Amino acid sequence: MEKATPHVLIFPLPLLGHISPVLQLAEVLSLRGIRVTVLTTDHVKRRLGSDDENRPMGRKRFSLLSIPDGLPADHPRSAGQFLEVLRSLMVNSRHAYRDVLVSSCKISKTPPVTCAIVDGLMPFAAEVAEEEEIPFIVFRTSGPCSFWAYFSVPKLIEAGELPFPEECDMDELVRSVPGMETFLRRRDLPTICRVRDANDAHLQALSSSTQRTTRARGLIFNSIEQLDAALLTHINSCCPRTYTIGPIGELLRSLDCSVGSPPEWWREDRSYAAWLDAQPSKSVVYVSFGSLTVLRRSQILEFWHGLVSSGYRFIWAVRPDLLDGAGDVAAELKAWTEEKGCVVEWVNQTAVLAHPSVGAFLTHSGWNSTLEGICAGVPMICWPFFFDQMVNSRFVSEVWRIGLDMKDTCDRGTVAKMVKQAMEGESAEEMRRNVGRLSEMARQSVDEGGSSRVHLEQLVHDIRALSLEASALKVGKSV
């Protein structure tokens, strides 16, 4: 039988938190000898600054193709409108995706796709792969903890725990997420669970796309086996082929120490580096709410007052679309902040977190940011905004004990109190020790023989086996 060349197609949601780990995964698989094509939208491709299809962002190991997202060219696609972008993609991109899946070999003169890696939140990609009889593996870019909470939604509904009763106590524990019975409160479930109707379309869509994972040939997590060992036992009972290959950024660096910087989603003014260099060790709070959070002016003011009255210096990444509404809030903050800190548009977050002057991370608890905080060994103050972030922040504070959870409030008094708790005293010391241990565990997991390396080798082996299977199926069909 003719030996098929393994060729993987990966199509992440057009959101930075999905694109970044996918680009890293593409690099990692390419380094292990698998041919990879990443598919994205025309808009994202332009934003990544890639004008050469085979050299995205200076990298050269995988191909990058793009398709339209169905929105007009002048649509701003700002953070506050991301659901509109996703809706348009789901409705309009199915055919274009199918074309690339089935005939990318003609477009980019590559071998046929033998395996699709589909974004866990993009159900149509899995459906199309199934229809075309191309084996698919799910990549869930959020963590195992939120995956399991989403997976348990039918159980929560069946047990009458969802929807929440009217006027309920949000601090009461929920009992129907196996393994989380002793610490997960109503308020820690993904925000989509706060709906009034169990048949809510969004709740049902997220729940069913998570359930669909059981039909995949495998499930990839950007996480570390030891970090989520107990939960993974539960997950493996439903999805037996699970690959924990994270932190993928660190895995990539362990395979190729010459990798470039992460995508520059907004303009990075590197002058902040000199400011950081001038600060004493562990004296600065790094503040960032990721790439999608939008804040009201009143919330921004509460954070700012809280940070200033904590007495600690801070560096705050204020994206141009952070403010929910019009106005240049970054310019205002810059003017008030001169003395106490540094306001910038965008930073290289992994570099800032690794800087010796940074002592704590005020974060929205996005999964990538949570992993990056762990890798850098920096305690976190969590203000989750939506979706999986609610679960992540509970794990940070109650399971891993590496931070504090400010969920559902951001009044200046609480901000100041939590910043102090994360920066000084016994609680800060304890969190620092705990996160230091996890950071070491993350480093070991990507070293030769570490769990993420072992899972990667298994994944590569299985992708090769699927490719043989795909070519056997093709031969079977043609006789």
| Residue 207 vs 368, nearer CB to ligand UDP | 368
Residue 465: C-alpha distances to residues 34, 140, 470 (Å): 12, 21, 9
Binding flags for ligand UDP, 371-410, as an x/- string (CB under 6 A): -x--------------------------------------
DSSP 340: T
| Residue 347 vs 390, nearer CB to ligand UDP | 347
Q: Taking CB under 6 A as the rule, does residue 20 contact ligand UDP?
A: yes
Q: Taking CB under 6 A as the rule, does residue 291 contact ligand UDP?
A: yes
Sheet arrangement for strand 358-363: 341-344, 313-317, 284-288, 358-363, 380-382, 403-405
Residues of span 305-324 touching ligand UDP by CB under 6 A: 317
Which one of 16-24, 130-138, 277-285, 428-436 is the stretch in contact with ligand UDP (CB under 6 A)? Answer: 16-24
Point out the catalytic residue in the list 7, 69, 119, 228: 119
Residue 200: C-alpha distances to residues 52, 73, 192, 193, 205 (Å): 43, 31, 9, 9, 9
Q: 63-67 and 219-221: which strand pairing?
A: unpaired
| Residue 218 vs 366, nearer CB to ligand UDP | 366
Active site residue 119: yes
Let me know: does 462 contact 241? Beta carbons within 8 Å: yes
Which residues on adjacent β-strands are paired with residue 342? 315
Min separation Cβ 291 and ligand UDP, Å: 3
Active site residue 18: yes
Q: CA-to-CA distance for 224 and 445, rounded, in angstroms? A: 7
Instruction: Pick one of 357, 369, 397, 467: the residue that binds ligand UDP (CB under 6 A).
Output: 369
| Residue 122 vs 463, nearer CB to ligand UDP | 122
Instruction: Pick one of 9, 10, 16, 470: the residue that binds ligand UDP (CB under 6 A).
Output: 16
Residues of span 220-279 touching ligand UDP by CB under 6 A: 262
Point out the catalytic residue in the list 18, 234, 355, 455: 18
Let me know: does 253 contact 259? Beta carbons within 8 Å: yes
Given the structure tokens 């990443």, which residue do they identify? 38
Phi-psi region of 58 (alpha: psi -120 to 50; beta: other; left: phi over 0): left
Amino acid type, 168: C
- Angle in degrees, 0-180, between the axes of helices 367-376 and 248-255, rounded to the nearest 10: 50
Amino acid type, 448: E
| Residue 79 vs 239, nearer CB to ligand UDP | 79
Binding flags for ligand UDP, 338-367, as an x/- string (CB under 6 A): --------xxxxx---------------xx
| Residue 21 vs 112, nearer CB to ligand UDP | 21
Q: Which helix (H) or strand (E) holds 346?
A: none
Q: Taking CB under 6 A as the rule, does residue 190 contact ligand UDP?
A: no
Binding flags for ligand UDP, 39-78, as an x/- string (CB under 6 A): ----------------------------------------
Q: Is the dihedral of CA 50, 120, 255, 374 positive or negative?
A: positive
Phi-psi region of 387 (alpha: psi -120 to 50; beta: other; left: phi over 0): left
Give the catalytic positions in this structure: 18, 119
What does the binding site for ligand UDP look like in residue numbers (CB under 6 A)?
15-17, 20, 262, 288, 290-292, 317, 346-350, 366-369, 372
